Amino acid sequence: MKSLRELYVEELKDLYSAENQILKALPRMMRAASDRDLQRAFSQHEKQTQRQVKRLERIFKQLGESPRGKKCKGMEGLLEEGKELIQERPEPEVLDAGLIAAAQRVEHYEIAGYGTVRTYARQLGEEEHASLLQETLDEEGETDKKLTALAESSINIEAEQADDDGESMGGNGRSGSGGRGRAGARGRRKTASAAR
Ligand SMILES: [Fe+2]
């Protein structure tokens, strides 16, 4: 790499790979979520991400470059952590809080990446690119704020109370109640997904 322009193209490829990985991960996160508002937030972000991919493709077309040829390993790692969380099968309310944490890491990674390429575009005199990238950057920022609001208004609170729910459902008996509480939570989760 010999110039800022080449670095710009490399960073754009990285983001293109990141967005496409996110597109594959979002349906999984949506299925794992129990909270309706969180499911909706993931589904809205999936549609938004499709438009963000299109914006990047427009930029690559103008540059006469291919968007392919790079795998964003940072995003791969972040999404892998989200996958691991789901596989650990936490209480549904706790999983929702954890999914927000994973999604916000993804958003912050993207915010860093888009902020950088937007600044490079300006430096390189690519004003149209800069405004397209700024649009995406704004959307990522809004998604991040929306997730914070969901966490603070309800999901973290429900996660904190998840254990209490299990206790009350399990009735008495210290050793048995945890297990039954867990089963109860799973049952609720099944109902939630069946209702979709
Ligand atoms: Fe994105």
181 Cα: distance to centroid of ligand 1 (angstroms): 37
**Separation of 83 CA from ligand 1 center, angstroms?**
18
pTM for the full predicted model? 0.82
Interior CA angle at 135 toward 134 and 136, to 5°?
90
Task: Give pLDDT tens digits for 123-164.
Answer: 999 999 999 999 999 999 999 999 999 999 999 999 999 887
SS (H, E, C) the chain: CCCHHHHHHHHHHHHHHHHHHHHHHHHHHHHHCCCHHHHHHHHHHHHHHHHHHHHHHHHHHHHCCCCCCCCCHHHHHHHHHHHHHHHCCCCHHHHHHHHHHHHHHHHHHHHHHHHHHHHHHHHCCCHHHHHHHHHHHHHHHHHHHHHHHHHHHHHHHHHHHHHHHHHHHHCCCHHHHHHHHHHHHHHHHHHHHHCC
Q: What distance in angstroms lies between residue 189's CA and the mean position of ligand 1's atoms?
A: 28
Q: Hey, what amino acid is at 190?
A: K
| pLDDT on residue 11 | 98
Measured in Å, residue 74 CA sits from the centre of ligand 1 at 14
Residues flanking ion ligand 1, Cβ below 5 Å:
49, 52, 110
What mean pLDDT value characterizes the chain? 88
Distance 185 CA to ligand 1 centre (A): 32
Instruction: Please tell me the predicted confidence (pLDDT) of residue 93.
Output: 96
CA of 165 to the centre of ligand 1 (A): 35
CB count in 10 Å sphere of residue 68: 11
Rounded to an integer, the average pLDDT of 42-57 is 98
98 CA to middle of ligand 1, Å? 19
* Residue 107: band (very low, low, confident or very high) from pLDDT cuts 50, 70, 90: very high
